[in-house]
Amino acid sequence: MSRRVSRRTIGDHVQGYAFLAPTVLVVGLFTFAAIFFAVFMSFHKINLFKLEMTFVGFDNFTKMLSLEKTRVAFLNTIRFAAVVAPAQTALALVIAAALNSRIRARTAFRVVFFLPTLTSSAALTMIFMFLFSIPGPFNQILTGLGVIPEAVNWTNEIRFALKVIMAMNIWSTAPFFMTLYLAALQDVPISLYEAAAVDGASGIKQFFHVTVPHMRPITAFVFVTSIIGTLQMFDQAYIMSNGSGGPSNATLTMALLIYQDAFGMQNAMGRASALALILAAVIFTFSMLANRLNKNEKPYG
């Protein structure tokens, strides 16, 4: 009997490992193996055309950190994340709270607000490039109201190019986080709002003293997710600047610089790998800090 049970147990284990094998293979090959290979390449000078590798130690890191272009890309990325991540989080929470109230046609509004999330990033970038172009609606409205004397090429101005991408990213990503807040708001007891209303609390006070404290866990998740996404921003800057990071590196980000080093004329795959590791360390650090700040906050009540 014990021998029969032992065979059955072995068979169950084999079957379980067989089901896990494809996932383990894919994750191991495209995640862990890729990470180790990136670390390996960061210590080598690589010529993709000749398939040559030369060990250079930490030269890729020192050269990368000494370049002015790297400092510009790092500052642009930090500035982008510092503005977009908090704005996305706050806007998503405000919209979710508004759509969770008893307003008319709230279902229709939810669908309308969620539409940008269903559109590809490339299409949204092209739309914003048209909106902020010289003959675009934005210039027509501002010149018609007399706010500016003449049309401005917002996407090709050093002062405004990155800000346009910020506005586009906030507008296109906040609706996704809004749905997370909407789901979390269903768990907030209605009795709390009723008790606050009886005590004379206005809608704004109910938002800050009831809604916001109960949303702390989901806010931490949204904020960390937003930080990770903004620090990896690539496609919008690439499309708007045609891959150059212009004008004058105003839209150059860390991810775009990695692409330029790896696949551009520089043919610096080793330096790109070193820069990718630095970016991963920055993302990990900011994520850990955000989680630590959330844990240090006292729970509601």
**What is the model's pLDDT at position 295?**
66
Domain boundaries, the chain: 2-42, 59-296
The SS3 assignment for 46 reads strand
Q: Contact 97/206 with Cβ under 8 angstroms?
A: no
CB atoms within 10 A of CB 129: 18
pLDDT digits (tens, 9 = 90+) for 123-156: 888 988 898 988 889 899 989 888 888 888 888 8
Q: Which CATH superfamily is domain 59-296 in?
A: MetI-like (1.10.3720.10)
**What is the model's pLDDT at position 31?**
87
Residues 261, 267, 271, 273, CA torsion sign: positive
Among 124, 160, 116, residue whose Cα is nearest residue 142? 160
Q: What is the distance between the alpha carbons of residues 40 and 210, in angstroms, rounded to a whole number?
A: 51
**What is the model's pLDDT at position 1?**
43
User: Which residues of the chain register pLDDT less than 70?
Assistant: 1-5, 265-267, 294-301
Kindly report the pTM of this predicted structure.
0.85
